[in-house]
Amino acid sequence: QKEVEQDPGPLSVPEGAIVSLNCTYSNSAFQYFMWYRQYSRKGPELLMYTYSSGNKEDGRFTAQVDKSSKYISLFIRDSQPSDSATYLCAMRETSGSRLTFGEGTQLTVNP
């Protein structure tokens, strides 16, 4: 079983839709959670990070963590064509710096 599971999609939505991206994990030692966005033929870039359970909001993006269920989500409101990319979840334990990544979800927002 993979430590981090992420539905690879692809996911296609119309412009303006609310997008929900999810990851589940099995390692209860994971305490830090991140979302990366990767445009085609580019390196991943950090989008959001969070430590505690609950919600964290940044503009149109909301990261949600439920440690009791080992489940994290990224919500995108009012999605735009420029949001079309692959979204990777990542997480790490308290000690150490190594991140474990999900395989990424490919999102297309259609105008």
Partner 1 sequence: NAGVTQTPKFRILKIGQSMTLQCTQDMNHNYMYWYRQDPGMGLKLIYYSVGAGITDKGEVPNGYNVSRSTTEDFPLRLELAAPSQTSVYFCASALGAGDYGYTFGSGTRLTVV
Cβ nearer to partner 1, comparing 17 with 101: 101
Least Cα distance to 86 among 47, 56, 58, 54 occurs for 47
- As a whole number of angstroms, the distance between CA 24 and CA 58 comes to 22
Cβ nearer to partner 1, comparing 1 with 95: 95
Report which DSSP code applies to 52. S
Question: Which residues have a Cβ under 8 Å from the Cβ of 77 and sit 6 or more positions away?
Answer: 18, 60, 61, 62
Cβ nearer to partner 1, comparing 82 with 97: 97
Q: Minimum distance from CB of 96 to partner 1 (Å)?
A: 6
Interface with partner 1 includes 95 (CB under 8 A)? yes
Interface with partner 1 includes 68 (CB under 8 A)? no
Binding pattern for the stretch 26-65 against partner 1, x by CB under 8 A and - elsewhere: ------x-x-x----xxxxxx--x----------------
Cβ nearer to partner 1, comparing 40 with 68: 40
- The phi, psi pair for 30, rounded to 5°, reads -65, 125
